[in-house]
Structure formats: structure tokens, C-alpha cells
């Protein structure tokens, strides 16, 4: 197996190196010894080292290239370090990186990683806690936690992802002020959640408020609703949809694990969280076709005015408020925390760590120390990144109105569900059993018990 990984790594690396040589033009070395004063005597100038960083291709790479360029032209000259980004295709990125790691590759000095990969990557990355010290305090604490495993931090975060509840501001404003709508709302809430509720501001909602409001904006429940459906769940059998449903679970006090690390799915919290989704589907408040929905379909339902509110990734804000893409609602988009007695949002980070097998660890550390500064993260944000640095995010309110909300929600409501190497297998188990409940095709109690049994087997305890 190791031999196969080594051959695959050699092939991948050869491709990357060839690509790099074709797209970079600057010098990588300075003379190892430069005569002081031009007379052949004296001091020795340190050799400049080139640090090669593998980074996630796409807009993230475009933004990071700006940071790299600035470093190479400024602090890098002082450090004696030049950083180069190794181009890589998005398709199969993780597999190719894993192949390089598996072969103890030394051609890449800084690897790209993520919260859901850190458990797999940790054996090939250097722990950074002692090396970066207080520099790690730059970041919102939850995002550092999302790159830890076994109490050690193996990467610094460059981008953060979380969830929001997006809602139609114009509709909620009318609901909060229109007496006729409020009277109907009470009737609908009594019918759907069994309680006569009064409309509240979205940031104050628990799941009863969410369900009642979504029902009010569903034409099959309230014929006077301006939208066809109240919401559109992301209910497809997909691991990323589990990450959104997890917010319901955690808002109710549920967790994946018990305090001693055992599976924790056969619980009242899990069943209640599953029933929230199941009831929205059963009552037609979320369309039956949502069993095929993921990110784009849910966005589309909101963009076309069919739904009044959705649970969605923070990255969607840019698209939902773009007039060219969301002409019907671009100026009517509100942001609120995920509903619940305790608001909760999944958090994961993308980031970079130092290859344990690199022969340029000190030079790589100089680069990471620069990267862990407000200056570097501001440059990254100004060019399209979402760095989890509160001051940077809050300072860009005019350019990116959602950034202060990201800083606030990640800090106040963020949780990290798991950073072990079991994350993906567990997500697959949950997606398989829980998506059937979301679609109204399975019982919550039965699904929770099946998940409990299969995750227990995966964990071996």
C-alpha cells in the first residue's frame, strides 16, 4: 500500500511541479554567499528558501495568491522566504493530497486541510501550539477548536463556514405589524404546533416559532400566504445536509457523543430534532421535492419567491443579495440565528498546516506567522476570503454586510461536532437513516436506534 501511495505521490507531484514551473516567473534563490561591499570579504547573506504551499483551488486560491504576493514583496524579503502556491485541480484534490501525505512527500511544505480532514491529516502535520503561541489568539476560538485533534492545533484557519436562517424582511415586517395577519397567525400556530403563539422577531425564535411562521407562509395551510411554502429543507441523503440538521439537534441540547465519547443518538433530543423536519414535510410546509434538495435547490426556492425563509450556509448571502441572480428578493434578505431555545450553528474551517516531513519547516513557520496577522487576513478578506478574525470581519461591514454576522454567530453560537477521522463515516450513517425520516419515509425512533447501533460499531465502543 505504501509503495502504491509513493508512486501515486510521485506522479501527482511531478504534475504539480511541472505546472508550477510553467506559471511562475520569479527567482526562487539568491546566491548563497554574497560578498559584503563587493570586495570579496565579510558577511554571508542567508539563502532564500522557497516554501511550496498546496491550497484549495478556486476563489480561495485567488484570494490567497494576493496574500502570497504581498508577503513575497515585503515581509518575505526580510524573512528570506518566498512562498509559491502549487496549482492543483479541484476534482480529486483531497485524494491527491492524501496520496502525497501517505508517501511522506517532501516537495510540499504547507498542506491545505479542513476541520473534517484534520483527524486524517494530523499524523502528517506539525502541532502548532508551541510554535505560534499567542498568534493563535487572533482567531475566533471556535475556529481554532475546529482544527484541533487530541488537544493539539494542527493548522491555522483561513476560512470559516457556518449557517444562518435567511428570511424575507418584507414579509416578517408585515407579520409583526399587521393585525389581520397576526390573528391568522394565532389560528395557524394553534393548528400546527398546538399553541396560540404571537409573532416574534426572528432572532427570538425557537422551533415552535419557526414552525408556526413557516406554516403561516404556506398556502396549503394559509391560503392568504404570499409564498407557496414557508421553508425548503435541505433533505437529500447527503452528508452536508446532516451538518445543517445538526443545528436543530444541538439547539435542543443534543450531541453526537456522550461525555465519555460514546455514540449519543438514541436520545429524546435526536428524536425531537428529527420530528421537527418530519412534521414540516408531513404538513406540506416544506415541499415534498425537498427530499432531493441540497444547497442550490434551496437557494433557488428562496430566490424565486416560493419560500419565506431557509436554513442555509453563510456563503449563500452573496448570491441571495446579488440583483443579477436574485432579482425578486435581493433587497429583502434578512439574517437571523438558527432558531432554538439555545441558538446553535455548525462551524468548520479551512486552513493550512506544516508538513511534518518538510525540510523547510522553519521557513514554513515564518510564513504561517505572517499569515496569522490581521494584515494578512485583511488582505485575504478583501480579495474574497472569509477569515475567522473578528476585527477583520467586523471592519468590512460596508463591503460585506454579512461578515459581522458571521463573526457574531460563530463566536456566540458556534459548535464543532467532531474533528476525528470518523467524521465522514458517521455523517454517511446519519445521512442514510435520518434523510428517510426527513422525507417522511421512516420513524424517528427507529432511525435513531439504527444510527446509534452503527455509529457504536464504527467507534468500537
Q: Residue 87: its pLDDT value, please?
A: 79
Q: What is the DSSP secondary structure assignment for residue 52, as one 8-state letter? A: E
Structure confidence at residue 243 (pLDDT) = 97
Pairing mode, if any, of strands 49-54 and 81-86?
parallel
Asked if pLDDT for residue 20 goes beyond 70, the answer is no
Query: For residue 3, what pLDDT is reported?
Result: 44
Q: What is the mean pLDDT of the chain?
A: 91
Assess whether pLDDT exceeds 60 at residue 44. Answer: no
Confidence band of 90 (pLDDT split at 50, 70, 90): confident
pLDDT at 23 over 50: no
Q: What is the DSSP string of 277-293?
A: HHHHHHTTSS-GGGGG-
Residues belonging to the chain: 461
| Global pTM value | 0.89
Give pLDDT tens digits for 196-209.
999 999 999 999 99
**pLDDT (0 to 100) of residue 38:** 37
Largest CA-CA distance found in the chain, in angstroms, rounded: 93
State the Cα–Cα distance between residues 184 and 219, nearest whole angstrom. 12
Buried b (16+ CB within 10 A) or exposed e, 313-352: bbebbebbbeeeebeebeebbbbbbbbbeebbbbbbbbbb
pLDDT of residue 47: 81
At residue 36, the pLDDT reads 34
Share of the chain above pLDDT 90, in %: 88
Among residues 432, 427, 425, 433, which one has the least CA distance to residue 458? Answer: 425
> Which residues 6+ apart lie within 8 Å of 439 measured at CB?
235, 281, 291
**381-390 as b/e: b if 16+ CB within 10 A:** beebbbbbbb
Per-residue pLDDT of 250-273, as tens digits, reads 999 999 999 999 999 999 999 999
**DSSP H/E element including 61:** helix 59-73
Alpha carbon distance 313, 165 (integer Å): 9
The backbone torsions φ and ψ at residue 96, rounded to the nearest 5 degrees and listed phi first, read -70, -40
Local structure of 389: helix, strand or coil: coil
The DSSP call for residue 251 is H
Q: What is the pLDDT of residues 91-108, one digit of tens each?
A: 899 999 999 999 999 999
Burial status of residue 21 (CB atoms within 10 A of its CB: 0-12, 13-18, 19 or more) = exposed
Compute the distance between CA of residue 85 and CA of residue 65 in angstroms, rounded to an integer: 7
* Band of residue 45 on the pLDDT scale cut at 50, 70, 90: low
Amino acid at each position: 500500500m505504501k509503495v502504491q501511495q509513493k508512486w501515486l505521490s510521485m506522479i501527482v507531484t511531478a504534475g504539480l511541479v511541472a505546472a508550477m514551473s510553467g506559471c511562475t516567473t520569479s527567482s526562487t534563490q539568491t546566491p548563497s554567499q554574497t560578498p559584503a561591499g563587493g570586495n570579496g570579504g565579510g558577511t554571508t547573506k542567508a539563502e532564500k528558501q522557497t516554501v511550496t504551499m498546496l491550497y484549495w483551488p478556486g476563489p480561495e486560491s485567488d484570494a490567497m495568491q494576493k496574500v502570497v504576493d504581498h508577503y513575497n514583496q515585503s515581509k518575505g524579503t526580510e524573512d528570506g522566504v518566498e512562498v509559491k502556491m502549487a496549482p492543483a485541480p479541484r476534482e480529486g484534490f483531497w485524494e491527491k493530497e492524501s496520496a502525497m501525505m501517505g508517501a511522506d512527500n517532501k516537495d510540499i511544505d504547507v498542506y491545505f486541510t479542513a476541520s473534517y480532514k484534520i483527524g486524517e491529516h494530523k499524523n502528517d502535520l506539525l502541532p502548532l501550539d508551541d510554535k505560534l503561541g499567542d498568534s493563535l489568539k487572533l482567531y475566533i476560538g471556535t475556529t481554532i477548536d475546529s482544527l484541533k485533534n487530541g488537544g493539539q492545533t494542527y493548522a491555522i484557519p483561513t476560512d470559516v463556514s457556518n449557517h444562518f436562517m435567511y428570511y424575507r424582511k418584507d414579509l416578517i415586517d408585515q407579520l409583526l405589524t399587521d393585525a389581520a395577519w397576526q390573528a391568522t397567525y394565532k389560528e395557524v400556530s394553534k393548528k400546527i404546533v398546538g399553541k396560540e403563539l404571537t409573532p416574534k422577531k426572528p432572532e427570538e425564535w425557537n422551533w415552535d416559532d419557526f414552525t408556526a411562521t413557516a406554516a403561516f407562509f404556506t398556502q396549503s395551510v394559509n391560503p392568504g400566504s404570499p409564498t407557496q411554502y414557508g421553508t425548503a429543507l435541505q433533505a437529500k441523503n447527503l452528508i452536508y445536509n446532516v451538518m445543517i440538521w445538526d443545528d436543530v439537534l444541538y439547539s435542543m441540547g443534543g450531541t453526537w457523543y456522550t461525555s465519555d465519547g460514546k455514540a449519543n443518538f438514541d436520545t429524546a433530543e435526536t428524536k425531537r430534532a428529527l420530528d421537527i423536519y418530519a412534521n414540516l414535510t408531513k404538513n406540506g410546509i416544506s415541499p415534498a421535492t425537498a427530499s432531493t434538495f441540497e444547497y442550490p435547490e434551496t437557494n433557488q426556492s428562496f430566490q424565486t419567491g416560493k419560500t419565506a425563509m431557509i436554513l442555509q450556509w453563510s456563503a449563500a448571502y452573496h448570491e441571495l443579495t446579488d440583483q443579477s441572480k436574485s432579482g425578486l428578493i435581493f433587497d429583502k434578505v434578512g439574517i437571523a440565528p438558527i432558531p432554538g431555545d439555545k441558538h446553535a450553528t455548525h462551524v468548520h474551517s479551512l486552513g493550512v498546516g506544516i508538513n511534518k516531513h518538510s525540510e523547510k519547516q522553519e521557513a514554513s513557520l515564518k510564513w504561517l506567522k505572517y499569515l496569522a496577522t490581521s494584515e494578512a487576513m485583511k488582505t485575504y478578506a478583501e480579495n474574497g476570503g472569509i477569515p475567522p478574525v473578528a476585527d477583520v470581519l467586523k471592519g468590512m461591514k460596508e463591503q460585506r454586510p454579512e461578515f459581522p454576522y458571521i463573526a457574531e454567530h460563530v463566536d456566540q453560537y458556534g459548535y464543532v461536532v467532531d474533528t476525528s477521522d470518523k467524521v465522514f463515516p458517521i455523517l454517511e450513517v446519519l445521512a442514510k437513516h435520518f434523510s428517510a425520516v426527513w422525507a417522511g419515509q421512516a420513524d424517528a425512533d427507529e432511525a435513531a436506534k439504527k444510527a446509534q447501533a452503527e455509529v457504536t460499531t464504527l467507534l468500537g465502543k
